[in-house]
Amino acid sequence: MDEKSFSTITPPIRELAAKCRECNRIENSLYEKHQVKRGLRDLNGKGVLTGLTEISEIKSSETLPDGTSVPCDGKLYYRGIDVEDIIRGFMADKRFGFEEVTYLLVFGKLPNETELAEFNKLLGGYRCIPPNFVRDIIMKKPSRDIMNAMARSVLMLYSYDDKADDISIPNVVRQSLQLISEFPLLAVYSYQAYRHAHVGGSLIIHEPRPELSTAENILHLLRPDSKYTPFEAKVLDLALVLHAEHGGGNNSTFTTHVVTSSGTDTYSSVVSSLGSLKGPKHGGANIKVVKMFQDIKEHVKDWDDEDEISEYLDKILHKQAFDKTGLIYGMGHAVYSLSDPRANVFKGFVEQLAEEKNRHDEYRLYANVEKIAAQLIANERKIYKGVSANVDFYSGFVYSMLDLPLELYTPIFAIARISGWSAHRIEELINCGKIIRPAYMNVCPRTEYIPMSDR
């Protein structure tokens, strides 16, 4: 079988697919009848409580003295500390924050100066991959999707680990720190292999520099001349900090808990979470935002004309424009209501970067769309909790200004979020919970077996 026939959907496959569609439809009324929380959410959209964690907390509402709950400006806490305070702290001292946040998430407290220096040295020493790994694994068959390429590489790293199946805490900590350090290499090298194989051009592979931060190493590895400005590295570092963790209930982190509870190895757990994060409803959302804005730019002539912007956004909302899903991507969040604190923090730095890159006109378009879309969605959908821009609304614009290729947008998310996954995996192992096994109710009626001759 050649490569073309391997991926061809033949008429027999289409017939079988039709049978799948026919036999797997479940009436919506049954979900209400049996009080099934679809997507593990109640009727108000709140997540069903499935576990306990000390790693992070999302706050989107507050309780009044009479006991009623009302929406409030969003807050994100890492180990009980307001993320905005953490950011102000390392920004004031002009140091990079992602490594400090990783230490906080995994080890439960902020490091002092000595602890942070030792931790950075440890991560720098781990920031390498086995000899010939790039040639034999990454370059051998470059994937069009970098998240899948990273997943394959992580599974192959299992083969290089003599203690791959050891799930004792010291060994899992060692594996986690190695993977946190290796993720930038796996992402950038996989992209460079893909580009060389499918786009053409020269292939320039830089060695990582252990003395550089994670953000600096990403830019150093990716750019042919390895050059970047301090502000570019600072903004990318901020993006990593804001994406490092987001509560135990997000899809990929919940996946970490589910898979870890089975007792499997670290590499399998991380690959499972990568598969979850790849989805356009999760980590791939910022790509949809970028593509939506490309479409808006093509159809809106005056980016400062709020009426023209509103008219086109209304078409998107009514499934008449862009991808006709009725979604204005980057607006709204499953948990946050009045505001997403990550978007609020990001926005000020986005404006500064837009000035540096001479793209302030685009920034104004983003700001206009954010304001107008919130009003349109609130009026159209009558959302009780309010709607606001989420972090994905601005992150894609930031990555484009940093000259990061679209193929790396979700992998950058993974480079950040593996810190949170690692913390949650260790928490799940330490608390030795039961294997996570939610219940599903069968609603298919029982029927009698029919012999082959009578079918």
| Listed residue (114, 189, 163, 172) closest to 415, CA to CA | 189
**Tokens 């948990």 map to which residue?**
335
Task: Report how far residue 333's alpha carbon sits from residue 337's, in angstroms, rounded to the nearest whole number.
Answer: 7
For residue 59, the cross-strand partners are 75
Catalytic residue (choose from 237, 265, 340, 392):
392
Question: Please, are residues 391 and 74 in contact by the beta-carbon 8 Å criterion?
Answer: no
Catalytic residue (choose from 220, 246, 257, 333):
333
Q: Tokens for 324, please give them.
A: 């006709």
Residue 266 to residues 144, 163, 414: CA-CA distances in angstroms?
25, 10, 15
Task: Report how far residue 260's alpha carbon sits from residue 252's, in angstroms, rounded to the nearest whole number.
Answer: 12
Task: Report how far residue 177's alpha carbon sits from residue 266's, in angstroms, rounded to the nearest whole number.
Answer: 11
Question: Please, are residues 404 and 165 in contact by the beta-carbon 8 Å criterion?
Answer: no
Question: Please, are residues 290 and 406 in contact by the beta-carbon 8 Å criterion?
Answer: yes
State yes or no: is 392 an active-site residue: yes
Task: Report how far residue 215's alpha carbon sits from residue 37's, in angstroms, rounded to the nearest whole number.
Answer: 39
Judged by DSSP in three states, 303 sits in coil
| Listed residue (449, 443, 406) closest to 33, CA to CA | 443
Q: Tokens for 201, please give them.
A: 């051009």
Find how far residue 150's CA is from the centre of its chain. 14
* Helical residues (DSSP H) of 37-134, grouped into ranges: 83-92, 98-107, 113-126, 133
Q: Residue 366: how many CA atoms within 13 Å on its side-chain side?
A: 26
Q: What are phi and psi of 331, to 5 degrees?
A: -110, 130
Question: Please, are residues 286 and 409 in contact by the beta-carbon 8 Å criterion?
Answer: yes
Judged by DSSP in three states, 61 sits in strand
Task: Report how far residue 161's alpha carbon sits from residue 201's, in angstroms, rounded to the nearest whole number.
Answer: 34
Q: Which residues contact 193 (CB under 8 A, 6 or more apart)?
A: 134, 138, 139, 142, 149, 203
Q: Which residues contact 224 (CB under 8 A, 6 or more apart)?
A: 202, 204
Q: Name the residues annotated as catalytic.
A: 333, 392
